[in-house]
A and B are shown apart, each in its own frame.
Chain A
Amino acid sequence: MPRWGMVIDLDKCVACQGCSIACRFENNTPAVSPEEALQGRSIRWNDVFPLPIDPAEDKDVYPNVTTRYLTRPCMHCENPPCIKVCPVQATYKDEEGIVRMNYARCIGCRLCTVACPYGVRYFNWYAPEWEGSLSEHLNPDRIEAPGDLEGPAVRPRGVVEKCTFCIHRLQKARLQAEAEQRDFRPDEYVPACVETCPAKARYFGDLDNPDSTVAQLNKSSRAFVELEEAGTHPKVTYLREG
């Protein structure tokens, strides 16, 4: 059973936001109106933002700037604060370590969004809308079972959503292997952001396999995790710049 993890090399990242856009189209994340976005209601499962986060702290003047960029998917923590507080198990960690989100069961209490220190969980304040013909080109993939709705399926109003490491892609790769009557190999599946990244700054794979790229990079002296002090043990590792 693989344990999925990601490594993001900040030295290679050019902050092009390609991962964010790829994620948006892969996962049918709706764009909100500019006013809503200003109010902080835009949904970006994979966010790209400058550090320091508080603009008031950024006092540097060009050319002496130290601003950095961080790309942030869900950390898929080993010890996720979000799943511990969910009253209905609408969000849970599966055996492969992916923190999943069931839109069909979520009651919208938003305790998980409040509990997540990384802010990776988003709420559907209004029903999602797409402009013009965009609504005709949604990703049809979805994970569906009685009482279960996951993946890129269009979310109803009033539920929480988040990055799933493109769980539908994993499912597809598994089904393909099954159809071809062979064993599934962990390198057959990557999320859309990893596939898109033009700088090849993102690596994805099985952390339990010591020969995998992510496991090797995790041992790098440049490796660090965000907000280590929160005790969440993220499975997304960053490689420090420089």
Chain B
Amino acid sequence: MNFPMQLPVFSFFYWLVNTPGLGGICIALLSGGAIIVGSLIVRWVQGGGDSGESETYSYPTPALHKEE
């Protein structure tokens, strides 16, 4: 029990892990972030269709991306 709990940095860390609600905020941030990033990725992929190309492909091959 010689842990230097009285040091402000450790008290702060303990406050961080011990305060009810912070965990919920963490869950909310993580899942909210995942949902936002996920939907941004989906939108970004979908947005690839606005480039005004004419030919479409049913499947890719490595050669499809050579020129980019």
Contact = CB atoms under 8 A, between A and B. Distances in A.
Contacts of B20: 88-89
Contacts of A78: 1
Interface string B1-38: 10000000000000000101001000000000000000
A213 interface: no
Interface of A: 78-79, 87-89, 233
A152 to B, nearest CB: 24
B1 A89 contact: no
Interface residues of B, number: 4
A238 B18 CA distance: 31
A88 B22 CA distance: 10
Interface of B: 1, 18, 20, 23
Interface centre among A78, A88, A233 (most CB of B within 10 A): A88
Nearest to A233: B1
Interface centre among B1, B20, B23 (most CB of A within 10 A): B20
Contacts of B23: 87
A-side interface mostly: loop
A84 B34 CA distance: 28
Contacts of B1: 78-79, 233
B68 to A, nearest CB: 48
Nearest to A83: B18
Nearest to A231: B1
Contacts of A79: 1
A89 B21 CA distance: 9
7 contacts: A78-B1, A79-B1, A87-B23, A88-B20, A89-B18, A89-B20, A233-B1
A88 B23 CA distance: 9
A88 B18 CA distance: 9
Nearest to B18: A89
Nearest to B3: A79
A214 B20 CA distance: 33
A214 to B, nearest CB: 18
Contacts of A233: 1
A87 B20 CA distance: 8
Nearest to A79: B1
A162 to B, nearest CB: 19
